[in-house]
A and B are shown apart, each in its own frame.
Chain A
């Protein structure tokens, strides 16, 4: 079945780095854009970043721009999020999600994020 499994979360000190991974299965990973979305404790959802199906286009939320890098390895069916210069406000559950559009990121219609992982928790604390 279609599945996304995140890993790599943990407790990290402010200013340090962490890399999250998201292993995909059950669909043609290389044909879909992929997102990272986070949720701080007791708060709502915040979109973090998106990468196109081939990795050629990447976009970021304002709060992580310049600090986080999204990437993918289609040969390994894996999505990554490199998080540098971490801050306390980056503490959250991080979800990876599959874009609902086959091929390039849709510009005329948005099909939503139709598959989500279970999330991995990142805690930034000294």
Chain B
């Protein structure tokens, strides 16, 4: 079973700064099977990225995803006040099975 480990657990940054969030898999994952979500307090998650690097509909281009193998990254180029939230990576595997990372909280410094 593939385990996704996200780091850091909490990231404290200021608006306008660049955010880099990491997702590491316990074994190699196809980049086609990696997604990222954003969840704000009291709200449902929102799909940001699928296929490791494709932005979902309506997602601003300041959000980007990259990576392959066991290491994947979500980058927010210039933080806006509304970007602060918890972010989850997720992978799809057989049989199907869908696994989430434990999350990274992005908070205002």
Contact = CB atoms under 8 A, between A and B. Distances in A.
> Do A and B belong to a common assembly?
yes
Interface of A: 35, 37, 44-47, 50, 59, 61, 95, 97, 100, 105, 107-114, 116-119
A114 B57 contact: yes
B84 interface: no
Interface string B72-109: 00000000000000001011100111111111000000
A37 B45 CA distance: 10
A44 B44 contact: no
A44 B101 contact: yes
A44 B32 contact: no
Nearest to B1: A62
Given A108-B32, A109-B32, A110-B35, A116 B98 contact: no
A50 B44 contact: no
A46 B100 contact: yes
B56 A105 contact: no
Classify the secondary structure of B's interface with A: strand
B47 A109 contact: no
Contact of B97 (A61, A112, A119): A61
Interface of B: 32-35, 37, 39, 43-47, 49-51, 56-57, 88, 90-92, 95-103
A108 B51 CA distance: 10
Contacts of B33: 109-110
A35 B97 CA distance: 11
B88 A110 contact: no
The 3 closest A-B pairs by CB, nearest first: A112-B50, A110-B92, A116-B44
A110 B51 contact: yes
A112 B44 contact: no
A116 B45 CA distance: 7
A100 B100 CA distance: 17
A42 to B, nearest CB: 11
Contacts of B35: 110, 112-113
